[in-house]
Amino acid sequence: MRFPVVLHTDDGVRYGVTVPDLPGFFSAGGTFDEALDSVREAIELHLEGLIEEGGDVPVPRAIAVHRANPDFTDGVWAAVDIDVARYEGKAEKINITIPRRLGEW
């Protein structure tokens, strides 16, 4: 999944990072690049916590949806790819019956 993130800075050097689709989430870095590097790990830890508490991985919305929020007016937008496969649980074998033609298709 690709999570939109918004980076904020007060001094043009250090950045705070918010992920609008993860309420209560915050990360930071000493530089723009460090902030982007650290946010990936922080998102993964946040998602682990959500799953452990019985929650689901939220579906990220488009940046265009979030840009309308006045809290993010002066932010710089980026997108972070997160492999959420490990949060979907163990693979499970199931046995199903379907029409033969559907199976051939």
Nearest to 4 by CA among 31, 28, 22, 27: 22
Q: What's the mean pLDDT in 43-48?
A: 94
Domain boundaries of the chain, sorted by first residue: 2-104
Q: What's the mean pLDDT in 11-34?
A: 93
Q: What is the pLDDT of residues 52-105, one digit of tens each?
A: 998 889 999 999 999 989 988 889 999 999 998 887 777 788 888 888 887 777
DSSP letter (8 states) at residue 15 = E
Question: What does the alpha-carbon distance between residue 103 and residue 16 come to, in Å, rounded to a whole number?
Answer: 50
| Class level of CATH domain 2-104 | alpha beta
Q: What's the mean pLDDT in 7-32?
A: 93
DSSP letters of 47-100?
Answer: HHHHHHTT--PPPPPPHHHHHTSGGGTT-EEEEEE---GGGS-----------H
Q: What is the pLDDT of residue 94?
A: 85
